[in-house]
Amino acid sequence: MAVHARAISPATAKTDYRERPIGVFDSGVGGLTVLHELLVALPHEDYVYLGDTARFPYGERTPQELTRFALELSEELLARGAKLLVVACNAATSAALGALQERMLETTLGVEVLGVVRPEAAQAVAQTRSGRIGLLATPTTVASAAYDRALAAVDAHVTLTAVPCPGLARMIQEGQEFSAAAVELVRAACAPLIAADVDTVILGCTHYPLIGRMLQRMLGPQVRLIASGPALARQVEHALTTRRLRSASEREGEYRFLCTGEVESFSALATRFLQMPLTAVEQVALGALADAEGAIGVG
């Protein structure tokens, strides 16, 4: 699918490229756990976050759908002046990061695209003592084998036990993460990790940090949990520094929100994930949403 970045309006563009915002997108509000880490690690940067809540969840979508969605979301953020793109969604990173990076090479924008998989894999390898690593993720992410490849690229001798968790992201997004059904789902997902005697577990969905304490209890205090937010924040900081894109401002940065679904639904959920004050939310309509075929709401 050919996607062409729209021109940046004078009202959005800034003369100093360093002062443009970092664009972050996710299938819904889970990526706000990543944005939270960015706001803490890089407080002088501006951010624009886009949640594709009209098409949530991504975890059981096809790679082709995810690539199309990711290209559309990236185009919207580029149109709003993003100097760097962060794919704060494991499923979208697994399916579409290569296509997004290739798309940026085709343009003269020179915008770097970072995803959540490689930073988590590198941190997991650094943390493991036994070389036995676990992964909890959506079915699409597990099936992509993106973490298998990322871990092998860092250390070919580690072993991965990957467990798909269908429906868990939706339960968390809907605030049902501590329901009896969710607890049983999580307990069943942890069982093969315990049997494999892993000492490090990658949380392969940005929703999962919200159940971190429950996972820690079930897996045991000796198991280290790797969330995408802190690992990705370090990579973003490195990219900004090496490309001389860090904001020179000493002020507290601004952050704003866009979503493709209902603003009220997004706002009701977002503060819980962001753990910071929420600013106004703007609804946007992307090209592929016009036909609404297959669209799934969050309400």
239-253 pLDDT, tens digit per residue, is 999 999 999 888 999
Length of the chain: 299
pLDDT at 299: 27
| Cis omega (within 30 of 0) for bond into 57 | yes
Residues 174-190, mean pLDDT to the nearest whole number: 94
- Given phi > 0 = left and psi -120 to 50 = alpha, else beta, which region is 126? alpha
Spatial contact of 219 and 135, defined as CB atoms under 8 Å apart? no
**pLDDT tens profile 11-63:** 445 557 899 999 999 999 999 999 999 999 999 999 999 999 999 999 889 99
pLDDT at 125: 98
pLDDT reading at 110 higher than 90: no
Which residue ranges form the domains of the chain, and what is each CATH number? 21-115+231-286 (3.40.50.1860), 118-228 (3.40.50.1860)
pLDDT reading at 10 higher than 80: no
Cα(241)–Cα(244) distance, rounded to whole angstroms? 5
Mean pLDDT for all residues in the chain: 89
Highest-scoring range by mean pLDDT, 95-104, 197-206, 264-273: 197-206
Residues 201-227, mean pLDDT to the nearest whole number: 96
pLDDT reading at 255 higher than 90: yes
DSSP string, 25-77: EESSSTTHHHHHHHHHH-TTS-EEEEE-TTB---TTS-HHHHHHHHHHHHHHH
Is 89 one of the catalytic residues?
Answer: yes
Q: What angle do CA 57, 61, 62 make, to 5 degrees?
A: 165
> In the 8-state DSSP scheme, what is residue 114?
E
User: Residue type for 299, please?
Assistant: G
Is 205 one of the catalytic residues?
Answer: yes
Give burial (CB, 10 Å; 0-12/13-18/19+) of 137.
Answer: buried
Q: Which residue has the tokens 């607890």?
A: 183
- Provide the terminal-to-terminal Cα distance of the chain, rounded to the nearest Å: 30
Q: Which pLDDT band, with edges at 50, 70 and 90, does 1 fall under?
A: very low
pLDDT at 298: 32
Cα(174)–Cα(282) distance, rounded to whole angstroms? 21
Beta pairing, strands 224-226 & 200-204 = parallel
Cα(285)–Cα(194) distance, rounded to whole angstroms? 44
Highest-scoring range by mean pLDDT, 166-170, 175-179, 185-189: 185-189
Q: Which of 165, 190, 205, 259 is catalytic?
A: 205
> In the 8-state DSSP scheme, what is residue 87?
E
pLDDT at 9: 41
Percent of the chain with pLDDT over 90: 78
Within 165-205, strands assigned E span 200-204
pLDDT at 288: 53
Q: Which pLDDT band, with edges at 50, 70 and 90, does 173 fall under?
A: confident
